[in-house]
Amino acid sequence: MISIIITILVGALVGWLAGMIMKSKHGFWVNCLLGILGAILGDALAGALHIGGGFIVELLIAIGGTCIVIAIARLIMGKKF
């Protein structure tokens, strides 16, 4: 139960940071969802490239993955995202 709460909180943080980087405007829950999806995508890409490290490296990978998710959402939904 605690790991789910931590995942949501870290996902929200990552989603918020990536939203600031990508200058996207959406709400808290969308940030959480994008952060979690981005962390999963970033982890998959990092695993395929054999990149890993401590918490900071994993956080940067999650932010990068979330930026990729936001870019893909913009391609699909237009610039309003």
List, in order, residues 6 or more apart from 45 with CB less than 8 Å away: 61, 65
Please give the Cα distance from 31 to 33 (Å, whole number): 5
pLDDT digits (tens, 9 = 90+) for 3-30: 677 777 788 889 888 888 888 877 778 8
CB-based contact 15:35 (threshold 8 Å):
yes
Amino acid in the structure at residue 23: K
CA distance 48 to 42: 10
Residue showing tokens 């936001």: 70
Query: What would the pLDDT profile of 26-79 be if each residue is shown by its tens digit?
Result: 777 888 888 888 888 888 888 898 887 788 888 888 889 889 998 898 899 876
